[in-house]
Amino acid sequence: MNTSPPPSQLLAAFNIDDPAQPLPGGQGTAWGTDKLVLKPLDMSREQMIWQEQTLHDIRLCTTSAKSGFAWPGQCAPRTGA
């Protein structure tokens, strides 16, 4: 578990001047300011790419008229197969 605060360069990238404070609860790795909450990535790059692609596809294939997820039969995979 990394308990080091986010570096000032990272906060500056989000235009945050105030130092981040540790947030209670959870895994103890989240830090926050009045405007931002930061938490270290807890998955591999490959998992993150898969998650982004999957969530993108879910967004494209969901119907807003229904609650939850609805997968229409015409929703083709990204590969076109």
81, pLDDT greater than 50? no
Co-location of 33 and 47 in the same domain = no
Question: Whole domain around residue 47: which residue ranges?
Answer: 43-81
Co-location of 30 and 49 in the same domain = no
Residue 80 domain-assigned? yes
What own/partner pairs with CB < 8 Å and gap ≥ 24 does 20-27 have? 27/1
Contacts of 51 (CB under 8 A, 6+ apart): 43
Cα→Cα distances 62→21, 32, 36, 69, 80, Å: 38, 33, 30, 6, 18
pLDDT tens digits, residue range 4-50?
888 989 899 989 888 899 999 888 899 999 888 998 888 999 999 99
Domain count, the chain: 2
Residue 1 domain-assigned? no
Co-location of 81 and 47 in the same domain = yes
What own/partner pairs with CB < 8 Å and gap ≥ 24 does 38-46 have? 38/6, 38/10, 40/2
